[in-house]
Structure 1
Amino acid sequence: MPMFPARFGTLLATGLLLGAPALAQSGTPLGLVPLPREVHTSAGTYALPQKISVYATGPAAQNVAELLKGFLAPLGKTVALTTNRQAAQIRLLTAAPGAPGGPEGYQLVVDKSGVSITAAGGAGLFYGIQTLLQLLPPKATAAARVPYVRIADEPAFGWRGGMLDVCRHFFPVPFVKKYIDFLAAYKFNTFHWHLTDDQGWRIEIKKYPKLTQISAFRKETLIGAQQMFKTPADFKYDGTPYGGFYTQDQIREVVAYARERYVTVVPEIEMPGHSVAILAAYPELACKPGPYETWTMWGVIDDIVCPTEPTFRFFEDVLAEVCALFPGPYVHIGGDEAPKTRWKESAAVQEIMKKEGYTDVEKVQGWFNRRIEAFLTGKGKKMIGWDEILEGGIDDKATVMSWRGEKGGIEAARHGNDVVMTPTTYLYLDYGQNPQPNSPDEPLMIGGYLPLEKVYSYNPLPKELTPAQQKHILGIQANLWTEYITTPQKVEYMLFPRLLAVAEVAWTPAAQKNYAAFLPRLGQQFARLDAKAINYRVPEPVGLDSLSVVRQDGKAVFTLRSLVPGAQIHYTLDGHLPDETTDRYTKPLAVPQGRRLLVRAVTIAPNGRKSPPTELLVR
């Protein structure tokens, strides 16, 4: 069903449907990410003046107008709100009840009369202005011209999430807000805040002050890549105390900031596993006597809370304060990686099993989860957890986050549970971006290989599910665990540009996705990332691989290109690392066959930053 109302009349011939790149008057692709549902362009541009009047009535439109004022300031524009619709250059309009597109859909029209964005509510208006911003130059210019365009858009999925782990490494409030800005700019609507784990408790709980006095800090941190260590002698520590936490006032500040940008914050309070930091402060909640300490390593530890009545009282008290701080519908309880070693040894757990008639200790975690779920339900919240919560048994009201592949999500959807797809193999952005494990050209990371193209290829709707079951797939989420991500700059390096691929998977229907068409649109985003001083990973040159080589006349011929507009490619044929001083690529590269030759190439972006090298051994 077309989303444009009949009053739009006959659409001009140039345009975009099903993934073909829309062209502005100059013939340059519009570069919109994520790809809208329908885009139609026509000849002409509208020049936004330096002083802009924005028509906005009602709280939602006025909130979006205030945000627009801040977004346009770096472009040298000043914004004033007006009630004179005819005099406004930008008009934020409320759609009629029942208009197509839903609460997050919008229609954007740019013509000789200016810019009109129409939506049913604030979220749609906000996404409309994000699209408008991508039609403007990335930096201040004398004439900011917007191409004539008509866009009708709405998201493919209702859950479009990004998770930040602040437990392994802590990030201050200004950067948490910046992370939310990253999400909002590309039409994500959920920020999953991983607030508690073995290595640190990050949220103030008034009733349990020792959580921020003791659990929020560890005495030191492991040095190097734990997965590479083979013997106890390999484990070295920095000897530096580390930690931090957010006060409840700071939590409220972040939640309010996100809400203004139509992002819902989902807090995660891990239970029953990943809880040794709790035991460091409150060892009486363990199955065996302590002492315990906030963990200084990564991975999974056997020490977890015991499922006794004092533990339930503790979590109910904690969750009561958490529910008051986070107005969104969901509370995440973790539920993953909870070894039962201590539970199997515990007389208290054996008594629970006897009383409940369990022969499998895993069922005790299901019993634990259901009690927590009942408490959350009483607080008006929905429980969500990692896919391990399936193993102990859940009812059909709990929401499952499928991370160990899609199996858990498929099982949950068949059971009638709602699901957020977040498989490691497609959406764990702490995984590496280089095919060479532990490459010296990359920062230290947890391992794995997740290139941009694989992220983009993900389809969250498993073929194994019926259409009715697929309706339980709420959407997707990208996760960023921070064992080896110590600074905001490294967070940005791991997120970008892959987060833009995630945005398109979450927003754009799979039938409209096309990786080849995505890349030139992605290319236009780099200047916008530069304007915001985001430390993205510069992509390597494309074309230096065995599938791209053309062999002719005894030579291997490579045709290279950069994904970054205006970048240069430099290369070497002797295995040395290329830089600005080595040969510059200007035409297809022909190298002799018959002897071993290591070809290496890098992209040097217009801002001077370099990609990691790509290489191929030619024989």
Structure 2
Amino acid sequence: ALKRGGERGYMPNPSLTGQQVVPYVWNSLGDNLDLGYRLANTGYPVVLCFVKNFYFDLAYSADPEEPGLYWGGFVDEKKPFFLMPYDVFRSTFWDDFGRPVDPEKAYANLERLKPEAKKNILGLQAELWSETLRKPEMVEYYLLPKLISFAERAWSPAPAWENLTGTEERIAGMMADWNRFSAKIAACEFPKLDVLNGGFIYRVPPPGAVIENGILKANTAYPGLQIRYTADGSEPGTTSPLYSGPVQVNGPVRLKAFTASGKESRTVTVMP
């Protein structure tokens, strides 16, 4: 579907349109963020498989203890949820490695999807490549709960925040929608994953924490998760002190997040 030429070294090849050629567009890095739209505008039926949003073998975060690749950035549960399929630029506020960008300036020269070409976007596809899979359990860890966010974006009507014109207003709408959705994941989907097919090995995100002036402050990615901590070097468990707000500590602290069923995250250690 591409041929050599153009300012970027390659361009859509119109001679193959109408020939049952369906590009699956994965490369959304750098100036290729508009590649799917360029092909759709040329007349190709396109499936969007953006690496920055839908490659589930990319690590959830930049933490060195988090398994997965990072050549295309990092993909957590928010990345598929935030994607606007018909205008990816307006929902891309961070670059490939999480640094903030101004979408109005950063992508000003990239090609937008023409209204008449929307019909050429056949759908979305997520991928899970196996280079870093060392055991079957890792498949479930990589997929869940990312797959829930992907299904929401692929199958649901466009959210109201897609139509908000101001960047700050749109980000606020996206985050408010995510807070509602993530609360449902913790309250409704995690309990299902605990029992369906004998239970899935899904990822419970570790808590975020910092010690400032001797005060431990922590939070969780999902409303409703419990944070348990220890200050004696032992591993946090379901009977360890429950974090309910900032607390004074005198040294290193270890923390874990727990679901209602007791499924736990990996341990996080923070230093004063």
For normalisation by structure 1, the TM-score amounts to 0.32
User: Cα 1:577–1:460, aligned 2, differ >3 Å: closer, same or farther?
Assistant: farther
Within 5 Å, give how 1:165-176 maps onto structure 2.
none
Residue of structure 2 aligned with 1:428, choices 37, 44, 55 = 55
Task: Answer yes or no: is the 8 Å Cα contact 1:571–1:582 preserved in 2.
Answer: no
Q: Secondary structure at the match of 1:431?
A: coil
The residue correspondences of 1:194-593 to structure 2 (distance < 5 A) are 394-397=15-18, 398-405=21-28, 406-437=33-64, 439=65, 442-443=66-67, 445-447=68-70, 448-462=73-87, 464-512=112-160, 514-523=177-186, 524-532=188-196, 533-541=199-207, 544=209, 556=215, 558=217, 560-561=219-220, 563=222, 565=224, 568-572=226-230, 578-580=235-237, 583-591=240-248
Q: Deviations over 1:580-617 (max 9, x none)?
A: 1884224202347xx9x655421133544321234555
Among the aligned pairs, what percent are the same residue? Answer: 27
CA contact (8 A) 2:27 2:35 kept: yes
1:555 Cα deviation after fit = 5.7
Q: Deviations over 1:175-225 (max 9, x none)?
A: xxxxxxxxxxxxxxxxxxxxxxxxxxxxxxxxxxxxxxxxxxxxxxxxxxx
* SS in structure 1 of the partner of residue 209 of structure 2: coil
Q: SS state of the match for residue 569, structure 1?
A: strand
Structure 2 residue identity aligned to 1:587:
S
CA distance in structure 1 between the partners assigned to 2:271 and 2:118 by the alignment = 45
The amino acid across from 1:609 in the alignment is K
* CA distance in 2 between partners of 1:457 and 1:610 (Å): 26
After superposition, what is the alpha-carbon deviation per residue over 1:93-140, rounded to whole angstroms, capped at 9, x for unaligned? xxxxxxxxxxxxxxxxxxxxxxxxxxxxxxxxxxxxxxxxxxxxxxxx
Give the Cα separation in 1 of the matches to 2:255 and 2:246: 11
1:352-382 CA distance string (max 9 Å, x none): xxxxxxxx9x69xxxxxxxxxxxxxxxxxxx
How far does residue 557 in structure 1 lie from its aligned partner after superposition? 5.7
Partner Cα separation in structure 2 for residue 452 and residue 391 of structure 1: 32
Is the Cα contact below 8 Å between 1:540 and 1:603 reproduced in 2?
A: yes
- Larger relative strand fraction: 1
- Structure 2 CA distance, aligned partners of 1:410 and 1:539? 34
Deviation at 1:488, TM superposition (A): 3.1
Query: Hey, what's the Cα distance between the residues in 1 that align with 2:26 and 2:270?
Result: 33
Counterparts in 2 of 1:394 and 1:525: CA distance versus 1, 3 Å: farther
1:399 aligned counterpart, secondary structure: coil
Q: Tell me how far apart the structure 1 counterparts of residues 129 and 228 of structure 2 sit (CA, whole Å).
A: 33
CA separation in 1, counterparts of 2:231 and 2:158?
40
- For residue 392 of structure 1, report the CA deviation from its aligned partner: 6.4
Q: Is the 8 A contact 2:256 2:265 kept in 1?
A: yes
SS of corresponding position for 1:520 = helix
Distance 1:563 1:590, change over 3 A: same
Structure 1 pair 531/582, CA: closer, same or farther in 2 (3 Å)? closer
Is the Cα contact below 8 Å between 1:539 and 1:603 reproduced in 2? yes
Gaps of 5+ in 1: 1-334, 337-359, 364-388
Q: 1:605 aligns with which of 250, 259, 262?
A: 259
Q: How many residues align?
A: 220
* SS of 2:44 mapped into structure 1: coil
Q: One-letter code of the match for 1:416?
A: G
Distance in structure 1 (CA, Å) of the matches to 2:136 and 2:12: 36
Cα distance in 1, alignment partners of residues 237 and 85 from structure 2:
42
* Structure-2-length-normalised TM-score: 0.67
| Aligned twin of 1:122 | none
Give structure 2 stretches of 5+ with no counterpart: 90-111, 161-173
Cα 1:454–1:556 change in 2 (3 A) is farther
1:515 is displaced (CA, Å) by 0.3
Partner of 1:77: none
Cα 1:475–1:617, aligned 2, differ >3 Å: closer, same or farther?
farther
User: Displacement, 1:469?
Assistant: 2.2
Structure 2 CA distance for aligned equivalents of residues 422 and 577 of structure 1: 43
* Distance in 2, Cα, partners of 1:497 & 1:473: 25
2-structure distance, mates of 1:467, 1:577 = 58
Distance 1:598 1:391, change over 3 A: farther
How well do the aligned residues superpose, as a CA RMSD in angstroms?
3.5
Distance in 1 of aligned mates of 2:27 and 2:270: 33
- How far apart, in 2, do the equivalents of 1:420 and 1:577 lie? 49
**Mapped contact 1:562–1:603 kept (Cα < 8 A):** no
Distance in 2 of aligned mates of 1:450 and 1:577: 31
